[in-house]
Amino acid sequence: MIRAENIFKSFEDQEVLKGITTQFYPGKTNLIIGRSGAGKTVLLKLLVGLLSPTTGKVFYDDIDFFGLNKRQKRTIRMEVGMLFQASALFDSMTVEENIRFPLDMFTNMTRKEKLDRVNYCLERVNLHEVNDRYPSEVSGGMQKRVGIARAIVLKPKYLFCDEPNSGLDPKTAILIDELIRSITIENNMTTVVNTHDMNSVMGIGDNIILLYNGEIAWRGNRDEVMESNNEVLQNFIFASPFLQQLRDLALEK
Amino acid sequence: MFLKNFLTHLGRYVIMMRMAFSRPENMSMYYRETLRQMNDIGIGSVMIVGLISIFIGAVTAVQFAYQLDGTLVPTYYIGYIIRDSTIIELAPTITCLVLAGKVGSNIAAEIGGMRQKEHIDAMEIMGVNTAAYLVMPKVIAALFVIPMLVAIAAFISIIGGFAAAVPTGLMSTAEFVQGVRSFFEPYNVFMMFVKSVVFAGLLTSVSAYQGYYVEGGSIELGKASTNAVVFSDILILLADYVIAVLLTG
């Protein structure tokens, strides 16, 4: 479990996060949603330790992450996998080398063991015969899946996904969502997804927090979204008249 | 303001270099990366270094022949001057100034591009010490390979001097060989290697620093690449003077 406690974050005079306190649970896909500029990416970067909070604490299973020294932080980070918005695959390496990189760096596995693990991860994300291709030679959706494969190769306890569906068509986006959810349940990982994709909210939102102006404006799960009277949530989720009509129809049913 | 900026950059540079030379997570990965960098920096620069060196030697020969024409200085001194000016100054300094442009800008662009494409963040999250993995192999590779390039440059430069002086009739082969073999001081070769090691360390670490801390988009990346070359060149020339004073004083 990951716990954020009273997180404040400012950049010069601008306060981006204002007292965020929340929990992210294992075996669930925890969503951080909100409009652009609401502070989602800053919160995610704080949770993984790429940024430090102005004040506040982040706990990984009751371990205060920012109270650790660099070596201890690295130990925690080896239990963290992250899928980046633009996948962040290393251009000069093949798909196989990208996924194998954490194994090469941190394990004493034999070459065959590494290859077996890489192939298992590729199989798990439904990718076949792409080992020798470079990231530029595969589609955006495939790059995301390679990103997921690389993120899970060290069997992490925590998985972070920064806008996993950005730039993908709706069908591929749903496939990626389903993949993230099934991997989360299968490995009992604490998964935190930063998104503003409504399909993700309604499809995989086991535990959702809505950020608005740096504060948590609403929290709940996908079943509670429809029935909530929270104005900020309603304005965010059902932003277009078409979606509002859909909601009304659903509620009537 | 200038002093504050200078101290900020100096502080960040020292922090980065301290992180860069901490214990590697996996020695074999760092070893492989160092070999790759040696190939990129060394083999990738042989052609340009050779080309420049041959002209440096040739120009030195022609200009000294012109300056000594009509004087009482023996002609074979041209060979001696070519050898010593090449070994003491031209080979290490010109080669490293050229490498600051070629290798330095490449290092800044490569690391800066990785920063912008979140590759560095991805490695950080995996638990990799990015300063060490991205900077240390480059610096170590340069410390080994650049002195070799400088030695090659010095040799080719003397050949260039020969090619410009002897076939054109400025002097005979015997005179050139006599000049090259006269008054030889092995200490000058030591000075050449000291300079090349110091310059190699400067140009790679300064360029890596520029790339590692780049922020913003492609314009900032271009600026970082330019700064890598400009600051490396300035520091190489400054270090050249300091080494000259210290080693000849």
Q: What residues contact A91, with CB distance under 8 A and at least 6 apart?
A: A134, A135, A136, B117
A139 belongs to a structural domain:
yes
Kindly tell me if the per-residue pLDDT of A250 is higher than 80: no
What is the count of structural domains for chain A?
1
Q: How far is A188 from chain B (nearest CA, A)?
A: 19
Is the CB of A88 less than 8 angstroms away from the CB of B127?
A: no
Burial of A35 (C-beta count, 10 Å sphere; 0-12/13-18/19+): middle
High-pLDDT (> 90) share of chain A, %:
56
State residue A235's pLDDT score: 84
Distance separating alpha carbons of residues B209 and B20, to the nearest angstrom:
11
CA of A86 vs chain B CAs: smallest distance (Å): 8
Within-domain flag for A16: no
Per the rule left: phi > 0, alpha: psi between -120 and 50, beta: everything else, B38 is alpha
Contacts of A105 in chain B (CB under 8 A): 25-26, 29, 126-128
B27 touches chain A (CB under 8 A): no
| Average pLDDT over chain B, rounded to an integer | 94
What does pLDDT average to over chain A? 90
Measured between beta carbons, the chain A residues lying within 8 angstroms of B117 are 86, 88, 91
Say if residue B155's pLDDT is above 90. Answer: yes
Looking at the predicted structure, is the pLDDT value of residue A239 above 80? no
Model pLDDT, residue A167: 81
pLDDT of residue A242: 81
Contacts of B26 in chain A (CB under 8 A): 104-106
CB contact under 8 A, B125 and A82: yes
Residue B46 in this model has a pLDDT that exceeds 90: yes
pLDDT in tens, B50-76: 999 999 999 999 999 999 888 888 989
pLDDT band at A203 (very low <50, low <70, confident <90, very high): confident
The answer, yes or no, to whether residue B34 has pLDDT greater than 90, is yes
- Give pLDDT, residue A226: 79
Portion of chain B with pLDDT greater than 90, in percent: 86
Cα angle, residue A25 at apex, residues A23 and A27 outer, rounded to 5°: 165
- Give the pLDDT confidence score for residue A78 in this predicted structure: 87
Degrees, nearest 5: CA angle B39-B41-B42? 65
Contacts of A78 in chain B (CB under 8 A): 126-127
Residue A157 CB-half CA count within 13 A: 12
In the predicted structure, residue A238 carries a pLDDT above the cut 90: no
**Interface residue ranges in chain A relative to chain B, Cβ cutoff 8 Å:** 48-50, 74-75, 77-78, 80-82, 84-86, 88, 90-91, 101-102, 104-106, 154, 160
**pLDDT tier for residue B204 given thresholds of 50, 70 and 90:** very high
Name which of A105, A108, A162 to mutate to probe chain B: the one with the most chain B Cβ atoms within 10 A of its Cβ: A105
- At residue B197, the pLDDT reads 97
Q: What pLDDT shows up at residue A16?
A: 92
Say whether pLDDT at A229 is over 90: no
Q: How confident is the model at residue A51 (pLDDT cuts 50, 70, 90)?
A: very high
From its phi and psi, is residue A189 left (phi > 0), alpha (psi between -120 and 50) or beta? beta
Give the residue-averaged pLDDT of B137-162.
96
**Which of B29, B119, B129 comes nearest A90 by C-beta?**
B119
pLDDT(B237) > 90: yes
Which residues does chain A have within 8 Å of residue B126's beta carbon, measured at their own beta carbons? 77-78, 101-102, 105-106, 154
Residue A28 lies in a domain: no
In this predicted structure, the answer to whether residue A200 has a pLDDT above a threshold of 90 is no
Specify if A239 maps to a domain. no
On whether the CB atoms of residues A32 and A43 are closer than 8 A, the answer is: yes
Asked whether the beta carbons of A39 and A16 are under 8 A apart, the reply is: yes
Chain B environment of A88 (Cβ under 8 Å)? 117-119, 121-122
Determine, yes or no, domain membership for A232: no
Task: Report how far residue B230's alpha carbon sits from residue B105's, in angstroms, rounded to the nearest whole number.
Answer: 10
Task: Give the pLDDT confidence of B173-185 residue by residue, as tens digits.
Answer: 999 999 999 999 9
Please give the structure tokens belonging to residue A195: 């998104």
What is the bridge-based pairing of β-strands A28-34 and A207-212?
A: parallel
Q: Is the residue at A98 inside a domain?
A: yes
What is the pLDDT at residue A165? 86
State how far the Cα of B5 lies from the Cα of B144, in Å rounded to an integer: 32
pLDDT of residue B72: 85
Summarize the confidence of residues A195-200 as an average pLDDT.
85
Question: Is the model's pLDDT at B216 over the cut of 90?
Answer: no
pLDDT value of position B147: 97
Interface of B with A in 160-199 (CB under 8 A): none
- Chain A residues in contact with B25 by the CB 8 A cut-off are 105-106
Residue of B15, B19, B118, B129 to mutate for A, most A C-beta atoms under 10 A: B118
Report DSSP state, residue A57: E
Provide the pLDDT for residue B118: 92
Amino acid B159: pLDDT: 95
- Positive or negative, the CA dihedral A156, A160, A161, A162 is negative
Using a CB–CB cutoff of 8 Å, tell me whether B35 touches chain A: no
pLDDT tens digits, one per residue of A58-112:
999 989 999 998 888 888 888 999 999 888 999 999 999 999 999 999 998 999 9
- Residue A104 has its nearest CB partner, among B26, B118, B127, at B26
Q: Please, which pLDDT band fits residue B80 given cuts at 50, 70 and 90?
A: very high
Q: Which domain holds residue A136?
A: 89-155
* Burial class of residue A10, CB neighbours in 10 A (0-12, 13-18, 19+): middle
Question: So where are chain B's domains?
Answer: 35-47+82-156+184-248
Q: Strands A14-24 and A80-83: what pairing?
A: unpaired
Task: Write down the pLDDT at residue A89.
Answer: 94
pLDDT, mean of residues B149-168: 95
